[in-house]
Structure 1
Amino acid sequence: MIAVQSFLAVLVKACLVIFLFTLVRGLVWVFNLFILAPFLDPLKNIPGPDGSALETHLGGLMDPDLSPKTHKLWTEKYGKTFRFHGFGSHDFRLMTFDLRSVSYILTSPVYEKPWQTRRMLTTLLGRGLSAMEGNDHKVLRKLIGPAFTAQAVRATIPICFQKAEELRDRLDALLSEDTSKIDITHWISRATFDVIGLAGFDYNFHALQDESEEVYLAYRRLFDVADQGPVGMRGLLQMYSPFIEKVLPDKLSRTVNDCLRVIRKAGIEVLESKRLAILAEKANASEIHDKDILSLLIKANLSADPSKRLSDSVLLDQIVTLIFAGNDTTSLFITWCIHLLSLHPAIQIRLREELLSLRANSSSHSDLPKASSSTPAGLYAHADAIEALPFLDSVIRETLRICSPVHSTIRTAMQNDIIPISSSTIRRDGTEIKPPDGIPIRKGTFVHIPLQGLNMSEDIWGKDAREFKPDRWSNLPESARAPLHPGIANVMSFSLGPHSCPGWRLSTLETKLFISVILPHFIFTPAEEIGSYVSIVMRPYVRTQLAKGSRLPIMVQRYFAE
């Protein structure tokens, strides 16, 4: 009995010590988070808006309907570089519109995507390119490079034409059913899903014809989950304690797991089939001529140093990521382009006339070539003619500038650093930071890069920066000419540096070809007042119907040439 009492006394003392230790550690953590760290943070002396202890400025910066006004107000008041409050006045974060600073941050190994972002992407898509950092990202980026060269992208032209024509025919069929108000987002997403399936993996989802294919439906459910995001207390707990999801999965987690199970099962079959075909066709994989992204990825993987080859699991993660990113960004690119054309009828008419001029100037005066009947050479030649159209090019660039599929991005400083600036910044104490001095930043600080904000910056694009004006591309201001990204001047929509979008050529080409096929046949006019919200990418919605999710109803009628 005495021994039991002694044991209990020791146990109570141990529990008390653990409790007191945990309490002290908690108090130290709270003291450091809310008092000491903000006091020592060099950003405290950088200009920016103030707020109460728990006030956040993220709402006005992350909502694309509000952020242009917020960006303009703050840059006028605080300059190109300023700090703001994340989740309270203790959470100093940096935002910059200085292209020198932006270029440095996005190309420096000092800055990585926050672990929270990478964990969310890994949970949703696996260890794909978008969730990797450091050497792993560098190796994978190099490995997938051949799949996104100009030559590889050019090989997708017949597929893009084919699916654009199928989309045109489906829209025409809807009009025959007396349906003139069409959710263009839905139909374009189905078409681009077919494109990325065939061009990326030689896999036909048949999404335009029938939304019943198992893998397609799994992806659609995955997209819906991505729209919801890890919201609420449960989402935060899972982010910081991933074991909760494994031990007590909720409905959202089960949905993701079910979708990934379907996708990975099909992916394993496609992956193994292609690998066997490649090995059977040529002993030397460097001579394989397959053009789809997966074949090129397998080819590069087989040719790589065995110690640097990717496992099947990592290859499957790239499939999931590339389909997710390749479909969403391009479908929204095309959707926003049609929306902007509907809002600007004079520009729509002018672009249609330019596209129809291809037919008028052809030697046969016949209709535009069809993917189903034309030779590949004919389709390539027609695509070249489309790419050479100056006003179409201007419309596409301006769409990308105004409606960036990705609203913004965020990085974390992995060590204390000095961010270079191109123009002076006045500290809150009245002193000045002049180049070549820069903004001091401590390890762990979040840095926000406003991609759309830079695209609409008056300092870069002029006083009319927030207007949709394709003609600006024939006479860009000097500040917008020096290209940060090849081919698209200072447009930040595809980001830049090691984490820039590898599929920018494919997305741009696909958008041009779809618009060239659709616009000569239809007239688009607004049907509802449309807003936008951020859910990984920037999605449209009907302002009075946010609960219905991403939609862009538009009035469609056939175009009859006089």
Structure 2
Amino acid sequence: MDCSAAAFLLFSWLAKVVGLLAALVVARGLLWLVNLLLVAPWFDPLRNLPGPDASAFKSHFSEVNDPDITPQIYHDWASNLFGKTFRYHGYGRHDYRLMSFDLRVLSHVLTSPVYEKPWQTRSYLGRLLGRGVFNMEGAEHKALRKLIGPAFTAQAVKGMTPIFFQKAEELADRWDALISANGSTTATLDVAHWISRTAFDIFGLAGFDYHFNALHDESEAVYSAYRRMFAISDKASPLRVLKQLYLPIVEKIWPDQDDKITQQCLKTIRDSGIGLLHAKRETCVAEKLDFHSEEKDILSLLIKSNLSNEPSNRLSDADLLDQLSSFLFAGSDSTALAITWCLHILSQYPEIQSRLRAEIISAPALDTATSSKRNSTSSVSSTSSVMQADTIDALPYLDAVFRETLRISPPVHGTVRVATTDDLIPISSPVVLRDGKIIGENEHIRIKKGSFVHIPLEGINMAEDIWGPDARQFNPDRWTSHPAGATPPSFPGLANIMSFSFGRASCPGYRFALLEAKIVIATLLPQFVFSPVEGIEIGKYNSVLTRPFVREKLASEGIQLPLRVSRYVD
């Protein structure tokens, strides 16, 4: 046999092998598709639950993820149509997902180790934040929670209050200067942007003892990197998110401009973080792990807690940096949004704004008239800041106003869990199945491994059976005089609302967020009056966090919340 004939036979054999392999791949793909679309849904125990119907590839994601419309949709589904526990469709009619407003169901899902954040959520957050506490599960998550605990105790947070005052006062000074430059007593300011800069500065100092100076200059490298990176994330299309989740290799081989910018930003953050971490560790070691030293920032406390562990249980430098990235995102962006939404709501309720201002001004031992005149050095070192923080924290109407803000406009709209094994979920409210059968109170519903459970945080915050018939209205007085039929005293969430979640994945920094927000609001309100800008309507945009935007201008102008800010004259 000559060489050409042998080559032909070899080529023919290879072609047959490749063809066979291709046929096997196609066959396996078809079997997977048939199972996904037809077989698995037929045996899914969620199939017979009540819920909205859909065509073959109809999704209910817009209904459950759009904070502009979900309050009404949740009310219709849970109160009028399907009861407290039902299913909806994810990526199509075949994709059954559980949703519940039954607190017993939610308590089971959020406290049981059976349910974890989906790998998609952890991968998306991990791409930007690394292996932080907010996207870890299992033993790693438990160990991280224990490690970071000392950084967020009530005592640790109180030690950071001078920084809260300092930056709140700097913000007030900047706004006062902008109003003067406007040549009047009023200026229109993008409150969302300014509060974000303030929160970033606060967490820079409280978290790392690092000066971003974002209130005065937004050019600092790490601050700019974070802002650019999350601006890209906020505007990401669903197609881009799917590419990042399911085809991450594309980003590495053929990165587009946004991919390149994100990688540059991550490198800037990482390089700066390593230098800061090494310097802090040297300081902590020199202090011989003295937890009562002057070093009160979260990074120092985290390093000390880490060094106190057995060597085998200590976090690596990379893991420590990932915790800081997670804290910076959660500690600055989410708190900034909570304050922003509070000022927005106060602008819409001038009577509530005036009442709250009067409480703050008349508070005993709270020197609001002169607090903004303190220079930054005395503000940070002043022990009186802790006393003033205690006074602010105890103001009943301020507490009610901010909790009501978190209830109506939580920074996190909802969250998702996935069942890691088949499970029985206890219910406290009966479920009427599609075939007419009833799963009674104190019985169970079945869920299979891999099924998603949607936790409607905002929906629970506005549930009428918990908060009363005016649940979708802003009413701070409900915190001191609950409407008839409301049951919030027994509600399981942190701060008695779902905004901080509860259970294994509850927010570890909720004390930090509450006190920072109260101090910023208590500093601003005695000096400024907030009112809406005429002709502008604010909407809510859900992108990991719930952000404000001017309607019809999201694509062109992005996230913003303009308000009229005027000097307060007694």
| Per-residue deviation, 1:278 | 1.3
Match of 2:181 among 177, 183, 193: 177
Partner Cα distance (1:151, 1:285) in 2? 15
Partner Cα distance (1:59, 1:299) in 2? 45
Q: Which residue of structure 2 lines up, in the alignment, with residue 48 of structure 1?
A: 51
Partner Cα distance (2:391, 2:163) in 1? 17
Deviation per residue, 1:138-177 (Å, 9 max, x gap): 1111101110110111011100000000000111111111
Letter in 2 for 1:260: L
1:262-281 to structure 2, matched below 5 A, reads: 262-281=268-287
| Per-residue deviation, 1:288 | 4.9
Is 2:101–2:460's contact at 8 Å kept on the other side of the alignment? yes
Q: Which residue of structure 2 lines up, in the alignment, with residue 133 of structure 1?
A: 137
Match of 1:436 among 425, 428, 442: 442
Alignment partner of 1:382: what SS? helix
Letter in 1 for 2:122: R
Match of 1:335 among 334, 340, 351: 340
Q: Which residue of structure 2 lines up, in the alignment, with residue 62 of structure 1?
A: 65
Alignment partner of 1:493: what SS? helix
Match of 2:562 among 549, 553, 557: 553
| Per-residue deviation, 1:289 | 5.0
Is 2:102–2:428's contact at 8 Å kept on the other side of the alignment? yes
Deviation per residue, 1:492-518 (Å, 9 max, x gap): 001111111111111100110001110
Partner Cα distance (1:287, 1:397) in 2? 32
1:8-407 to structure 2, matched below 5 A, reads: 8-75=11-78, 76-178=80-182, 180-229=187-236, 231-232=238-239, 234-282=240-288, 284=289, 288-358=293-363, 361-362=364-365, 367-368=370-371, 371-372=374-375, 373=378, 376-407=382-413
Gap change, CA 1:157 and 1:82, over 3 Å in 2:
same
Gap change, CA 1:241 and 1:368, over 3 Å in 2:
closer
Deviation per residue, 1:380-399 (Å, 9 max, x gap): 11111111111111101101
Alignment partner of 1:217: what SS? helix
Partner Cα distance (1:371, 1:496) in 2? 38
Q: Which residue of structure 1 lines up, in the alignment, with residue 9 of structure 2?
A: 6
Match of 2:549 among 535, 541, 552: 541
| Per-residue deviation, 1:440 | 0.6
Q: Which residue of structure 2 lines up, in the alignment, with residue 419 of structure 1?
A: 425
Deviation per residue, 1:422-463 (Å, 9 max, x gap): 111010000010133211111111110000010011111010
| Number of residue pairs matched by the alignment | 555
Partner Cα distance (1:433, 1:199) in 2? 50
Letter in 1 for 2:85: T
Alignment partner of 2:383: what SS? helix
Gap change, CA 1:238 and 1:557, over 3 Å in 2:
closer
Partner Cα distance (1:329, 1:12) in 2? 57
Partner Cα distance (2:128, 2:457) in 1? 23
Partner Cα distance (2:519, 2:19) in 1? 70
Partner Cα distance (2:236, 2:310) in 1? 38
Partner Cα distance (1:70, 1:7) in 2? 63
| Per-residue deviation, 1:244 | 2.1
Letter in 2 for 1:269: G
Deviation per residue, 1:510-554 (Å, 9 max, x gap): 110001110011111101211101011000011121111110000
Of the structure 1 ranges 63-72 and 8-17, higher mean CA displacement relative to structure 2 is found in 8-17
Is 1:164–1:518's contact at 8 Å kept on the other side of the alignment? yes
Alignment partner of 2:307: what SS? helix
Gap change, CA 1:159 and 1:370, over 3 Å in 2:
farther
Alignment partner of 1:412: what SS? strand
Partner Cα distance (2:401, 2:249) in 1? 48
Q: Which runs of 5+ in 2 are unaligned?
A: none
Partner Cα distance (1:250, 1:269) in 2? 29
Is 2:368–2:526's contact at 8 Å kept on the other side of the alignment? no
| Per-residue deviation, 1:281 | 2.6
Q: Which residue of structure 2 lines up, in the alignment, with residue 495 of structure 1?
A: 501
Partner Cα distance (1:103, 1:367) in 2? 46
Identical columns (%): 52
Q: Which residue of structure 2 lines up, in the alignment, with residue 463 of structure 1?
A: 469
Alignment partner of 2:499: what SS? coil
Is 2:124–2:244's contact at 8 Å kept on the other side of the alignment? no
- Aligned-CA RMSD value: 1.6
Q: Which runs of 5+ in 1 are unaligned?
A: none
Q: TM-score, normalised by structure 2?
A: 0.95
Partner Cα distance (1:508, 1:363) in 2? 18
Determine whether 1:515 maps to 2:515.
Answer: no
Is 1:285–1:302's contact at 8 Å kept on the other side of the alignment? no
